[in-house]
Amino acid sequence: MRNFNFYNPTRIIFGKGTISRLGAEASKAGKKALLIYGGGSIKKNGVYQAVTASLAAAGISVVEHSGVKPNPVLRHTREAVEKARANRCEMVIAAGGGSVIDEAKAAAAGAKYGGDVWDFFTGKAEVRDALPLFTVLTIPATGSEMNSGCVITNEETKQKFSAMGTSLFPKASILDPETTMTLPKEQVANGAVDALAHLSEGYFSTTDRDAAVTDELVHALARSIIASTNRILKDPGDYNARASKMWSATLALNGLQSLGYDGVEFANHAIEHALSALYDIAHGAGLAIVIPAWLRYHLKKAGPERLEKFGLAVFGAATAEGTIRSFENWFRKIGAPAKLSDAGIPAGDIPKIAGNVMELMELWGIDCDRAAVEGILRDAA
C-alpha cells in the first residue's frame, strides 16, 4: 500500500428538499453570484425555480449563464469568465450535471486569473485561486461535485483536456435525488458507466496490488452502482435506488477510490476524451465502448489477477475473461453502446483518434504507446 494524501473539504447536503438550503450556504460567500446551467431541463423539473427562490430569499442577486453543452466547450467557458469579471460576481453557482459543474469550476478559476482560462488545461498555468463554488447536482455520474478537477473541450483544436486545483473543490454541494427522477434512460446508463470507469481506472492500473481496504471500497461502490442502476431501470420512481446511486457516483471519484494505489493511468478516460473531442459523443457512452477493449489489453499486459478479484467480488464471475464479459453484458443490458460502430465512428478514423489520444497521454504522463492505443481502438471497432 503506497503513501497517499487525502483532503476533501466539500460540504455535502444530501436528500429530499435540500435545495432550499442553497441560499444560506452561498450567503457565506457574498451577495452576487454567477449562476451556470445547461439547456434548460432544470426549468422543466423545478430545480431552477428552487435554486433562484433560495438565492433570492438569502438576498443573493444572480447573473445567469446558461447553455452549457454536455461536453462543455472553451468558447462558452470564456464567456462565463467574462461575465463573472464584468459583473464582479463573488461566487459561482452550478445547477446541473458534471458538465455544468466543470464549466463552473473553470469559470471560477478563470475569474481570478489574469490570462486565458485555457492555460490551466494545457499546463501553462496552475490553478491557485478561484471564486467560491456551490453546486446543485442533477445527474449522478462524474463526481465533479466533490472533487477538484474539471474537463473542458477546446472545440477549435479538438482537445478535451482537464485541470485540477484545491481551490476547485466546491464549498458545498447539494445532492437531492428527487432531481434525478426524470432523467432519460441513456443518462441513467451513461452515468453508471462513468462511475464504474472511475472505480476501474485505478483498480486495474495500480502496480501496488496490496491496498486491500481500497479494493474493498471499490468493490462496494461498484456493486452499489450496478444494483441501484438495475433498480432504477426497473422502477424509475424508486427514490432509495436513486439516492444510493447518487451518493455512490459521488464517492466513486472523490479520492477514496484510489488511495494507496500506484501508477493510476486513467487510460479509459484519455481514449474517451479523444472520442468526445472528435465526435461529441456522451462521455459515458464513449467509456462503455472503450472499457471492455481496454480490459482485454490489461489482461494481456498485466495478467488475470486483478480481473479475477474484481469479477468475483462484483459480478460473481469465475475468470478474468468472465469479468470482461460481465462488463459487456451489463453495459448491453442497460443500453450503453458496445462498439465504435454503434456510435457511428468509422474504423478508418482510428489513426486520427489515436493521434488525439497520444497528446493527452503525454500531458497526463500515461505510459501507453501508440500501437497499444490503436490496438484497443481496433478491438472496440
Distance CA 134, CA 131 (A): 10
229 forms part of the interface with a second copy (CB under 8 A): no
Distance CA 158, CA 74 (A): 10
Choice from 119, 186, 239, 280 touching a second copy (CB under 8 A):
239
Choice from 61, 240, 319, 341 touching a second copy (CB under 8 A):
240
Is beta strand 172-175 parallel, antiparallel or unpaired with respect to 11-14?
Answer: parallel
Distance CA 315, CA 327 (A): 9
For the record, the C-alpha cell of 131 comes out as: 471564486
Choice from 130, 221, 277, 377 touching a second copy (CB under 8 A):
221
223 forms part of the interface with a second copy (CB under 8 A): yes
Stretch that binds a second copy, among 243-251, 262-270, 302-310, 340-348 (CB under 8 A): 243-251
244 forms part of the interface with a second copy (CB under 8 A): yes
Q: Work out how close the CB of 171 gets to a second copy at its nearest, in angstroms, rounded to a whole number.
A: 10
29 forms part of the interface with a second copy (CB under 8 A): no
Choice from 71, 144, 148, 224 touching a second copy (CB under 8 A):
224
Residues whose CB is less than 8 angstroms from the CB of residue 50 and which lie 6 or more positions away in sequence, other chains included: 19, 20
Q: Work out how close the CB of 239 gets to a second copy at its nearest, in angstroms, rounded to a whole number.
A: 8
Q: What are the residues facing 73 on neighbouring strands?
A: 153
Residue type, 253: L
18 forms part of the interface with a second copy (CB under 8 A): yes
* SS3 of residue 365 by DSSP: coil
In the bound state with a second copy, the residue whose beta carbon lies nearer, of 86 and 212, is 212
Burial 133-168 (b: 16+ CB within 10 A, else e): bbbbbbbbbbbbbbbbbbbbbbbeebbbbbbebebb
228 forms part of the interface with a second copy (CB under 8 A): yes
47 forms part of the interface with a second copy (CB under 8 A): no
Stretch that binds a second copy, among 63-71, 103-111, 212-220, 323-331 (CB under 8 A): 212-220
CA angle centred on 190, ends 187 and 193, rounded to 5° = 150
Choice from 35, 89, 217, 277 touching a second copy (CB under 8 A):
217
Longest dimension (CA), the chain: 59
Residue type, 371: A
Q: Work out how close the CB of 111 gets to a second copy at its nearest, in angstroms, rounded to a whole number.
A: 24
Choice from 58, 220, 264, 372 touching a second copy (CB under 8 A):
220
Distance CA 91, CA 31 (A): 8
138 forms part of the interface with a second copy (CB under 8 A): no
Stretch that binds a second copy, among 45-53, 107-115, 247-255, 302-310 (CB under 8 A): 247-255
Choice from 52, 248, 268, 323 touching a second copy (CB under 8 A):
248
Distance CA 36, CA 305 (A): 44
* SS3 of residue 121 by DSSP: helix
For the record, the C-alpha cell of 364 comes out as: 497526463
2 forms part of the interface with a second copy (CB under 8 A): yes
Is 296 within 8 Å of 328 (Cβ atoms)? no
4 forms part of the interface with a second copy (CB under 8 A): yes
16 forms part of the interface with a second copy (CB under 8 A): yes
Contact footprint for a second copy (CB under 8 A)? 1-18, 177, 210-214, 216-217, 219-221, 223-224, 227-228, 239-241, 243-245, 247-248, 251, 256, 259-260
